[in-house]
Structure 1
Amino acid sequence: MTVLLAWSNVRSQPAGFAGSFAAVLVAVVLVGSSGLLVAGADRYPDLDGVTGLLVLSALVSGFVSVFVVAGMLSLHVLRQRRTWGLLRSVGMTPRQVRRLVRAEALVVAVLAGVAGCVLAVPYAELVAAVMHAVGLTPRGIPVEVTWGPFVPALLLGPVVTLPAAAVAARKAVQAGPLEVLRDSAAQQRLMPWPRALTGMVALAGGGVLLYLVPRVPAESAVPTGLAATMVLCVGASALGPVLLRGLGAVLGAPVARLDPGPGTLATASLTTQPRRAMAVASPVMLTVALACTFLFAVTTSDAAAGVVRTGPSVWAAPVLVGSAVAYTVISVLNATAMSMSERGAELRLLRSLGITPRQLVRAICWESLIVTCAGALLGSLIAVASLTALGEALTGEPGFAYSLPQWLGLVAVCAATALVGGLASTRRARRGALSP
């Protein structure tokens, strides 16, 4: 009965589940295609380096998908808080609400997993063609459809969505029926203690890994540094609402002085709804942290060894980063569209109070830029911590090689994506009729 109700909800509210569906779909496509390419490349000894790159790309995609899907499901639960309140007021128990949320997530995961496995085959062929065209592989990688690579890809959806759904389900039943129905802009519980504990433990674990980076064998320094980045990202994501509220106030202060009306609105939106903003900032933080750590770790390693990359080897690091950036673009678009689409009534109310559509455009632009800058700042700080420890391990000094244009390019892509998503999802509310 619960599964049938969940299926009915997914069918009747496709827009509400679109973000989670797209996040799982892209993750399954990336993991499944990497598995197909690894299976094809295993036959050729001269492709061993490419195999490691593909495996690392799949691991990064799976890691990022955990945070993206968790953010999408959390946004969905926050958007549907009145629905959960109505269901509880008519007799649905908290246990039944939790089961319904998990069942909805499972339905979305299965649908996205099947669709992702179908799309993984042509995507693998496209990646193989691109890698051969740029000279990264001496020959084309054959793509053969076998069941082996699809098993982890199909399992990825439920493995990622069910734990995220369990966390989201707790949020759905935290407040009583009447409390959930209150129309309040500010979030009542910013940081539940389990989330705070998870964040503190993850930050402590990341600190331990940073301490170990200069002390492990040289061949283990880079993997340990990447692991430290991932664990620190877990901690920053868990503590994100608190961090983003503080960063939003700091970054928004000069914006409010520069553009008083729209800038103040943007800053107020971030400080009253930091969880909603963190759904957009989280993929930006992850991408900047992982991409900078990987790119500049390679650069630092090459500088320490006196290696100058030429030819196809130059493309190795950008290929991995490219998949992460592509995932970020889709994730930020989804998160921005979901977070902004529920604000139609808010924007129409502001218009009825005298704010012009042009001022609303500036407010949304400022908010998107502040969120992007906050996520990029958190990710950059995490990357700097890992790279500093890695530089000490490789060169004996706490420094690292970096490329400012590459960093600016990452931030620019994230900012442009957030701007496009925010403006596109609020166009009707900004320019349409004042009544929904």
Structure 2
Amino acid sequence: MMLVLAWNNVRTSWAGFAASFVAVLVAAMLVSGNGLLVAGAASRDELSDIMGLLILSATVSGFVSVFVVAGMLSLNVLRQRRTWGLLRSVGMTPRQVRRLIMAEALVVSVPASVAGCALALPYAQVMATFMRLVGLAPADVPIEITPVPFILALVVGVVVTRLAARTAARKAVRVGPLEVLRDSAAQQRLMPWPRAVAGLVALAGGAVLLWLVPQVKPSAAVPTGLGATMALCVGASALGPVVIRGIGGLLGAPVAWLDPGAGLLARSALTTQPRRAMSAASPVMLTVALACTFLFAVATSDAAAGVTRTGASAWAAPMLVGSAVAYTVISVLNASAMSMAERSEEIRLLRSLGTKPSQLARAICWESLLVTGAGALLGTAIAAASLTALGQAMTGKPGFAYSLPQYAGLILVCAVSGLAGTLFSTRKARRKR
């Protein structure tokens, strides 16, 4: 019965679940596709030199997949808090609400995971061809069909989705029906203590890994540095609502001065709803932190060894991290669209009070840019900490090589993705009174 109700909810509100479906599908494709590449390279002795890079790339893709899937589904569940409040008010028990949310997660994750596994083979073939063309692999990388990558993909697609749904469901039913219905714009409880504890533990783990980077063997320095980046990303995401309120206030001050009406609205949105803002800023933070750590770690290693990459070989590092970055960029677009879609009534109210469509467009654009800027600052700080430790390990000095055009291009892509998702999701609400 609950599965039937969940299927009807997903079918009738498919637009709200589309972002979660795409997130799970691409996650399953990345995890299983990279797993097929690793299994194929392990069967060829001449490919042993690239096994470490492939495993590292697969690990990054797996972490990104888990991070994005959990965040996207949690955002999708929490943006329906008023729906759950209405169901509670008409007699649905908290247990029934939790079961419905879990059933919806199952309805979305199973077909998405199966579709992602079906796309894994074409994805692996394209990546294998590209590695041979850029000279990263001395020979064709065989694609070995084994069940382990697909099992891992199903774990990411189904198990992680259900765990995220369980966590979000607890939050959705924690508030009473009447309290949800009269919920104000300002968030009274910024962060529950379990989330704060988890964030502090993750930050402490990241700090320990940063300390270990110069201590471990040179071959293990980059994996340890990436591990530190991942742990710091988890900690920053958990504690982000507290941080982003301060960052939003600082970044929003000049915006409010330049564009008093629209800029003030944008700044207020970040300071009154920091959790919602952090849900959109987290993918930006993850994109910047992981991409910069991976790309500039390779650049620092090459600089320490006196190696200059030219031609096709210069694309090796971007190619290995490119699929994960593309995935997080998609999640930036999805998160921006989902966080703005729930504000349709708020935007229509502003229109009814006389706010012009152009003013609303400027306000949401400023808000999107502020969120992107906050996420980029957090990601840059995390990457800088990891790269400083890696520089100390590789060169003996706390410095690292970087590419300003690559960094600027990454920020630009995130900003454009956020703006696109924001403007697309609010286009109807901005035109109607």
| TM-score bracket, shorter-length normalisation | over 0.9
Matched, 1:181 2:181: yes
Q: Distance in 2 between matches of 1:134 and 1:351?
A: 53
Contact 1:135/1:311, CA 8 A, preserved across alignment: no
Which stretch shows the higher mean deviation, 352-361 or 33-42?
A: 33-42
Alignment partner, residue 35 of structure 1: 35
Q: Distance in 1 between matches of 2:388 and 2:73?
A: 35
Q: Distance in 1 between matches of 2:126 and 2:211?
A: 41
Contact 2:66/2:156, CA 8 A, preserved across alignment: no
Change (3 A) 1:146 1:385: closer
Contact 2:27/2:69, CA 8 A, preserved across alignment: no
Contact 2:287/2:379, CA 8 A, preserved across alignment: yes
Alignment partner, residue 115 of structure 1: 115
Amino acid at match of 1:197: V
Question: How far apart are 1:411 and its partner, in Å?
Answer: 0.6
Alignment partner, residue 246 of structure 2: 246
Q: Distance in 2 between matches of 1:261 and 1:49?
A: 58
Question: How far apart are 1:242 and its partner, in Å?
Answer: 1.1
Contact 2:287/2:329, CA 8 A, preserved across alignment: no
Alignment partner, residue 235 of structure 1: 235
Q: Distance in 1 between matches of 2:221 and 2:148?
A: 31
Matched, 1:419 2:419: yes
Alignment partner, residue 364 of structure 2: 364
Contact 1:31/1:62, CA 8 A, preserved across alignment: yes
Deviations 1:153-187 (A, max 9, x none): 12211232122112201110111111111142122
Q: Identity of aligned pairs, percent?
A: 73
Which stretch shows the higher mean deviation, 317-326 or 406-415?
A: 317-326
Question: How far apart are 1:189 and its partner, in Å?
Answer: 1.7
State the Cα RMSD in Å: 1.8
Deviations 1:199-234 (A, max 9, x none): 111111111111222222222222211111111111
Q: What count of residue pairs does the alignment treat as equivalent?
A: 433
Contact 1:68/1:279, CA 8 A, preserved across alignment: no
Amino acid at match of 1:104: E
Contact 2:113/2:153, CA 8 A, preserved across alignment: yes
Which of structure 1's runs of 4+ aligned residues deviate more than 6 A? none
Question: How far apart are 1:108 and its partner, in Å?
Answer: 1.5
Question: How far apart are 1:383 and its partner, in Å?
Answer: 0.8
Question: How far apart are 1:430 and its partner, in Å?
Answer: 1.5
Deviations 1:137-159 (A, max 9, x none): 33433445554432211221123
Q: Distance in 1 between matches of 2:25 and 2:236?
A: 25
Alignment partner, residue 398 of structure 1: 398
Question: How far apart are 1:416 and its partner, in Å?
Answer: 0.8
Alignment of 1:34-53 (within 5 A): 34-53=34-53
When normalised by structure 2's length, the TM-score is: 0.95
Unaligned runs of 5+ in 1: none
Alignment of 1:197-216 (within 5 A): 197-216=197-216
Amino acid at match of 1:33: G
Contact 1:65/1:160, CA 8 A, preserved across alignment: no
Q: Distance in 2 between matches of 1:203 and 1:149?
A: 30
Contact 1:213/1:393, CA 8 A, preserved across alignment: yes
Contact 2:287/2:328, CA 8 A, preserved across alignment: yes
Unaligned runs of 5+ in 2: none
Q: Distance in 1 between matches of 2:408 and 2:388?
A: 19
Change (3 A) 1:135 1:222: closer
Amino acid at match of 2:269: S
Alignment partner, residue 374 of structure 1: 374
Question: How far apart are 1:410 and its partner, in Å?
Answer: 0.8
Q: Distance in 2 between matches of 1:332 and 1:272?
A: 21
